[in-house]
Amino acid sequence: MIRVVQTDSAYERILDRSTGALTEAINSIARAYVAGRDRSAAILRLANVIGKNVFLSELLGRESTAQVARHITKAPASFEDSPSSVVTSIPFTEAVEDIVARTPEVAPFATPGAVAQIVKRGGFTLARAADQLIVERVQKAIASFVELGKSTTDAAAIISEIGDWSRAYSETTYRTNIARAFSGGRMAQVDQPGVREAIPAFRYSAINDDSVRENHWAANGLVAPVGHAVWGSFKPPLGFNCRCGLDFVDVYDYEYMKKKGVLRGGVFYPKNFSKAGPDPGFVVS
């Protein structure tokens, strides 16, 4: 039987971090708009919230990869899952320090400058996109208030009106970007010295339940070398709120697959792979 190293614990723990800060940052933009104030500070706040969580997720992706590679190298016959991350709801700085303390290999990537770059590059992009959606949602709420003869300057009432949307948007944004960053961290860490020798391939893993999307399930079981072009189109997530992930295939299992002749060009394609792909309109990055 093919052994696949699974390391879901770190990913599940970062997803457990509350989306409350994200929701509050979104609401602060809404309040500024209703009050007619400049939204720059609120947008910066949202960019920082997004950037820090994305950065933390990328570090966890790197950490899990480094730990598994280390484990494979030292104890190839007895390892199980990688040590689970203890990162839950502790503050950002302490969470980074905790990861680095357990996995010094990621220290060069855990710098204040790296955080600033992620906030600047990705956080602001996402925050500005969110700003437009928030303004549109608030405008709809105001229009509704006008029709009902309610005050259109009552920020608390308007925030309450868009509350369900804010929470849903926060959850979708959070999960999708955390998934992207976690997969990206895993893929980046395999390029570090000694890692690719231990982890030569990834396996696409979808969750087999009633909520799984057909095009995601069709990719389940895909195995390909870590640097293969197929991951350019199939790096999780494949859609908003996608729960798929990348498992590690260790060097011993990958060599076993080679010997059994189940690979084509170094890749194992699932039976229904022709139906696999990202959700319509979703860009894998």
Q: Give residue-wise pLDDT tens across range 24-57.
A: 999 999 999 999 999 999 999 999 999 988 898 8
pLDDT tens readout for residues 149-205:
888 888 899 999 999 999 999 989 888 988 999 999 999 999 888 899 999 999 999
One domain for residues 27 and 154: yes
pLDDT value at 1 more than 50: no
Domain boundary among 197, 232, 247: 197
Report if residue 110 sits inside a domain: yes
One domain for residues 109 and 241: no
One domain for residues 77 and 98: yes
Domain boundary among 174, 197, 220: 197
Report if residue 3 sits inside a domain: no
pLDDT value at 5 more than 80: no
One domain for residues 82 and 223: no
Domain boundary among 197, 232, 256: 197
One domain for residues 259 and 120: no
One domain for residues 215 and 188: no
Looking at every residue in the chain, the average pLDDT score rounds to 87
One domain for residues 179 and 212: no
Provide the residue range defining the domain that includes 272: 200-285
One domain for residues 181 and 280: no
Question: How far is it, in rounded angstroms, from Cα 30 to Cα 36?
Answer: 10
Report if residue 136 sits inside a domain: yes
Backbone angles phi, psi at 268, to 5 degrees: -105, 120
One domain for residues 118 and 244: no
**Residue showing tokens 């950065």:** 55
**Is-contact 11 245, C-beta < 8 A?**
yes
Report if residue 157 sits inside a domain: yes
Report if residue 1 sits inside a domain: no
Domains of the chain: total = 2
Report if residue 58 sits inside a domain: yes
One domain for residues 115 and 23: yes
User: For residue 199, what are the contacts with CB-CB under 8 A and spacing of at least 6?
Assistant: 5, 65, 68, 69, 72, 190, 226, 248, 249, 250, 251
pLDDT value at 20 more than 90: no
Report if residue 140 sits inside a domain: yes
Q: What is the radius of gyration, based on Cα positions, of the chain?
A: 21
One domain for residues 55 and 125: yes
One domain for residues 211 and 191: no
Report if residue 2 sits inside a domain: no
pTM: 0.86
